[in-house]
Structure 1
């Protein structure tokens, strides 16, 4: 050092005088040292500046960090806090030092804080806790406190660093997720469908209670097992095991669905009809995390569906195939014939005398007979043949791959078996027969409807030949066209009855005596049919076929029932009304008709005196004894009778005294031209006179103008009927007219 050198020279004996050179060197050395000191000072100043800047940055980061930094003394007071901590606590930063941090902890969490502070005093690891803090006096927020192992000693004693974070939003999300999870859990536990979830490898991680019930696996036992071990499905038709396409669901990320013919077999061996959907579970990155399998027990639905399908194709009474299913099978048989040339036979069966059983023994007896016959007929045919009930007492039989001669043998055996069935009910024995029509099913026939029509023709031919026999359809028969036409009418009639397409019209019968007219009104009820086109058909269009094929008794009953059941709505109130109901010749020999009429009077409450039954003169003469008995039987309860078309027979007057009728309806053929034709005039006058002598009122039909009315009044005829009085109108119009009058 320079000073050392000076001292050394100065301490020398006798003193020392510095040379110029020495002084110069010393001065130079002093300058160098000065420069060195200045340089060190500059570096110190730079370091200080850097430290100051670094400190400022640190304090800025410290104050505005997203986390609150708090230094807490051993006594629990805050020593220092950053700006974020002050904001979180809702206080000015300067007011925090000296305040106990516990003052900001919510009351119900102070115990948690106390335990936390004890913990951090005795550990060097990082510790965390979650608790509620107060921001001001009212606002509560969720916070996380974290204390690390860094401790430092100050003058006041040991301090602890704590990190304070507002986790309110996180807690809100967690609570929302928890609620959603609970809601999903409750939903899965409560829904009626079974649910199984798996991981990405197909191993089960969840089953809901319905899945536990159907698979017969508890949740604890099933978790961790592969889905195919728990969920074993089979084909409902073949009972072969099915595999669940897990790979398709997991790797191809496709939904797999099975809605029919699927059985779930439980360990007990019980089978459940199910439908299922397996869908991939995707994460946020669209990666498949597993499968959710939803399935439901549709055993009852499937059973009900099968029952409905059976009911749709089978007759409920006999269990035989119904018309709809039979026609489908007939169509398939005809198609096989047209494609392969196979020959089949179609038989149409109509029971003889079945109506007698229903009318005398009741419908229960009729139903029992039909079931017995169905069982017997089924035993006469092969398993590949089809026997169907079309309704009522009509059956059809399709003999598969059967030549015509063999079909005739089978039909004849059926006729014999039905004749010998010997049906008894309540001590009464009934003789039953069957008429069978047979038609060959060949490729010459274009459609099933034509086959059925031909079988109908053959069946009715069997009936016309005496019933209780089989008849083979012959397309070359001279009567086939007529039969077809009439059968068309019969089919129309059957449809009209079944579909309620009959309608009643009413035509006024007017008394020529005004006083008599004021006391009572009279209407004749006339039957009309509505065809499938909605067109009205007159009796002449359908009655001949109905008479030939013994359908008039059904029509008569329909008319009687409809007339009596509509009487109250149509005619009750005001002037008493008598209605005229036409009966066919078949009714005279219908042993159950009188009782049927009595039952209808009882059911409807209509006064029998308000009903006049009309029978034609020809019907009465043809069945004189039965007609007299029929008339007398119903007159006992108050019914009246009119003899229709009187005068058309050659010996009308001869039989009149044997028929206790109340009215004579003079045949319209005499009335229409009586003004110009003396003979017609004389006939009308004679009929009127004879009727009055016998105490019978007269009604002139087909009255078309005022001249005829005046002439009839002169003769003394009691009532007139015809277009000049009133045209026939539907009963519904009468009801509307009555409503307007009210």
Structure 2
């Protein structure tokens, strides 16, 4: 019996020894990973690879870190190429190029040379500083109209200030574009001083003017009263490709033709119109000059003016033409970027809603109908989570191409955000639209997405709604299409569903219609209440950084307080988050100004914003106005946004964060933790801090995985210049562990539970 007991005891001892050695090997691999990450972070050696064998969980963390290191250089190079493209184009142009509102945002060297300064010295100065006093009122009025969205005016002629007493005459073309998330004006000024001089002197002495005409860069042609050419200068010869001997006696339209670059519509004979109407005629701002064989095309601006003698009789016509191919290309590129999604090349949400508004107006005026489709990809998150955002971006590009192949030329395809798309099928019967939607579902379902050694299949669910004369607003149409898409997903995904009244009933069953009414009531009255939760520094008293976060509560109909997790989904679905965010910002700034929120030293108060404000063109302007009105210093306010929302709209988030920093505010990432690899994308943003998701900030004494992840994130964040906040900290042991891991700030119920203002 004693021998049996001894054998059992020996067996147990060997088992314990084996378990102890296995744990030591696992911990050793964790230390190996931590050391590799620490070494890469210390050296900023983002081109190196981390090699790690062992359990799947550790290998996945290693892969995430490697994806981070691989993506950093590629993202940075792409950003620099885009910036260089615009700067090189603008800098190489001899014309004056300005990006401005009332003040200058960007100026090229040609603009700066007018005042004899460097281009950087013009930034921030009023645009009117470049214009002679007599034209400043006209310039201000023109800027106001453009920023108000009024139809683009014809080019304006005015005098710019230069070193001469008379100034330089210029023809200014302006167009409204989007710059850093806000409307701005791109103005290109072409020197027309010679043309002004020509027009003033040609009627008196054509022979004397010819000496001047041969030395200028603009094409000049003169004709008799029948429109037959009697003179053209060297620049005109080069532009139309015909020698003056061959052109003499012929009409201009016999040598070249003028068509609209958009629809190839013939623009007629500008010289004939000028002579017949006895006033200046042009070919418009989209003219192409085409050679008779059609092999040579130039974008031109052309003006034909009658030449009047001393007695007022028309003696002929003068034509001034200018090659604007390069200028027009820059303008078209800026316009394209303002209306298209940078990732997929599809139109963006703003342009899609504009086209939907036009379609709704046509439906009401002409009693016609169109179809709106809302598309949501199925199983897209699996690709993003397992392979990273680079793979997700490539999948979105491929799906965009598939969708475009299934629709008609007249239809609009847009990326609305994340993995959501929109279709506007113009003058399309509902049964035909259903067929197109089914074709899209089939094409996506049969597509195989290959990334490295993995193959994925995804699907798409589509909701359709008819756009007719009796339809409601754009928001109503989008909500109806979204509800129909939800029903399609509920019915099994990968299919299309046409909206019906039953879908609204389904929405009511989900409770979202209930929340919609309650949220709208809360926005009109006092249905919301602000709470605060402190954020403490782990190193004692510091001069800056977030000191508290603003939290939102909703008063229910029975008087109880409702946390955001219960109503945010409905608010997002019905596009109410920008309105809620505005309420929070106004109320927070008022509370700071009234002393209800007290902030130590120069520390800030953090406000959580939804991702929907990234596509709200007016939100940043709203922030500026609120800060000006409240007199709260921008440095006392920080804004944070969910990691998924930022990564889903990275280009917009980059512009948003840049503008916030320009105002003096801070910007941070909330709920960080979908993968360490996402730091590669976030590094492109102007980020001050990130919050580690609460899933990683508990059980740090016993959970080595959580501990190592927090340590890795903290080290990498410090390398790229981010401060780290650990949120949802509930226990003293976790608080102490986070201090040891050198996290900068801690927030959670262990520090203090959320409390109403003034508590």
* TM-score, length of structure 2 as denominator length: 0.46
Bigger-Rg structure (1/2)? 1
* TM-score, length of structure 1 as denominator length: 0.47
